[in-house]
Structure 1
Amino acid sequence: MSNKLVGALSLAACLGVSADIERSAYFTVLGGVQDFHSSNENNGTIMSNSLDESDAIAAEFGVMLTDHAAFQLSYTKLNPDDAIGFGNEDLVMKTLDYMYYFKTESNGGPYLRLGIGKYEFEDMTAGGGWDESDVGRMGLGFESELSSAFSFRGEIGIIRDDTTKRYDTQLLLGFTANFGGGSDPQPEPVQEVVAPVVQKNTRQDSDNDGVFDELDQCPRTAAGVVVDPRGCELDSDGDGIVNSKDACAATPTGAKVDATGCRLVLEETVRRTLNVKFETNSSKLQSEFKSDIASLAKFMTEYPDTTVVVEGHTDSTGKDSYNQWLSEKRARSVANELVNTYGIAGNRVDSKGLGESKPIADNNVAAGRAKNRRVEAVIEATVRKAQ
């Protein structure tokens, strides 16, 4: 039996391949009951006697292999109600388990356990003749996220005792503490500034800017002007206006400017609306909408005084409280994309969830519900054009 379970664990591990790992490890404490079912075999051991029911306390430590798959060590202490001829013995079960989590969102979902290990007695003072037995186990459970660090889980399982050929059942409830997950953002690359190279040579430099004529892309630079390696006057803030003509020398990167190098502001109220759709019961951004978010981020970069309110919505499926939570999570996913991916300052981006309170289509049909599962981002700015 052990060889078969090892093969099953190896096959399950090969199936559990995913991308992003939300936690790197976890620790679980569980409590419950275990029923010992009667065996038709009598091997002269306490396990072939009549064991009835036992309290169960388990401690488990798991390490994530992928976003869905994990290996864990499990220690379960049992105290059977009836061990004929031996009194109440303390029994422990130690297993190595393969776990597969079928979650579709970060707030949890069902999971499967496959494990192998041993039954062992802690107290053999009342007799002897048996000290351990190989076991295999299988369980089906559900994990629900309470926060980013803690979750609740419940599980029902079957345990196969290789000595008695008996199948026992187990019911467990408990809490999990999650550790690690994610990675630190990579630092932005530092742009190397190359100083102009001035070489003494017999080649001609007509405008005396230190760049020879055959390399000079700006051959009539004014006297005394500092130039770049191309022979063109420097533009320190990168706004397209050279330093000698730039009246606003420290324009923010990416901002639109007028002919004097000062920020260009429109003289009307500008409104931009973003509409991002989501799958049912999901806050994950779909790739088809990321270009729209990028366009919104570009507009905010060009007009640094603008701010945005990201509003999340759901359809009417599910409870009001859950829909409110899901709408807030959807709004945060778009807001985080603007801040973390495109570098928009956090104090310029606000998010809020409106639940199912503002549908734009009929929630009684699938097409209408799909339209209502959305995030809208609204930008308004009153600006003036250059004279």
Structure 2
Amino acid sequence: MKKLALAVALATAGVSNLSIAQESTDGPAYESWVGGFAQYYNADSEKPEPVGGLEDGRGFGAEVGFRFDPSWAIRFELSRVLIDKDDNNRSALADDGTMLGADMMYFLEDDVAYLFGGVREQSLTDSYRMASLGVGKHWNTSENWRVITEAATYYDFGQGYNEFSLKLGLAYVFGASSAPRSQPDTDGDGVYDAVDRCPDTAPGATVDATGCNIDLDGDGVINSLDQCPRTPAGVEVDARGCEFKDADGDGVVDANDECPDTPSTDQVDDKGCTLYAEEEIFVELDILFANNSSVIEDHETEMVKEFVEFMREYPNTNAVIEGHTSAVGTTEYNQMLSEKRAQAALKMLVEEYGIDPSRLSAIGYGETRLKFTENTAEAHRLNRRIEAKVEATIQEKVTR
């Protein structure tokens, strides 16, 4: 017990001296902590000699630590261990005692975990000196409180015993609330030298994640999107940061232009090709007949010529020729007369103008579709007729 008391006194004095040194330094203050813990302890079954027989155990204790560097800390702990005997070994006896330890601790980046190694002085029925090695983590619960989790292995220097323990504890932190990692940033751009690909960036420059000017060639396209990062100053560039070339002036760069000779008056799509809009066009044929006649008196009127020209220009079109009469006369006679008028127009278009007969059809409606219902000579004249209409869909350029 005298040894233990002396060791604890030395540990306390060491931490006090380190704290004083901490307070006197001009640099940042790093944290210290005190804590208590419970642990599961697994003893080597060969221990103690000569009978062996120790098994699982438990313990509780206290620790004090000081972090004197962003990565390094020193820790001292004192614990009480209670180790059970193996029930299968009748000669074995349970044992209990104390364990005093000291460790150096190395904290990984962003305190994701720490590694530690040190020595232990274990006093049971016999005394054992062991090396310790383990991993742990301090979990922040508030500004000053941490949960301690830890796993450790121990190797006895004298008899080669191998043991391990698991720790769960609670620590109170004082001093600095955290131990910030200071990493050099020579050019002061906010990017650590370790990842800074442009370590001589001018002060005040806006930089990307690699520490380089966010637009090295100054073309207005940030480095991460710039496919031509060395564009000369003053050159007009496209969205890729490459020189803007548009030979036909349609607003689409040559590299993406699939129609490089588009007229400048045309609207184009994103491939640089002319945009077209569908438009419905048609032409009508309207021929009047004399009373009680199916003879077409003039075969070369402008209306006939326009109708024929349309059908020739759009060879995929078809037309239905409709024959009509006035209401004078019997219904049966008028029906027959309307069919003869429709056939007369069809025959003219086929025989005189060469229109394919498969594109034409004729139908008579008699007096069933009067255009004018008045019982006058003029109304009767206008009802004696044939009508035809042909339609086509065309693609018209969309202009600027």
TM-score category (smaller protein) = 0.3 to 0.5
- TM-score, normalised on structure 2? 0.31
Q: Which has the higher contact order (CA 8 A, sep 6+)?
A: 1
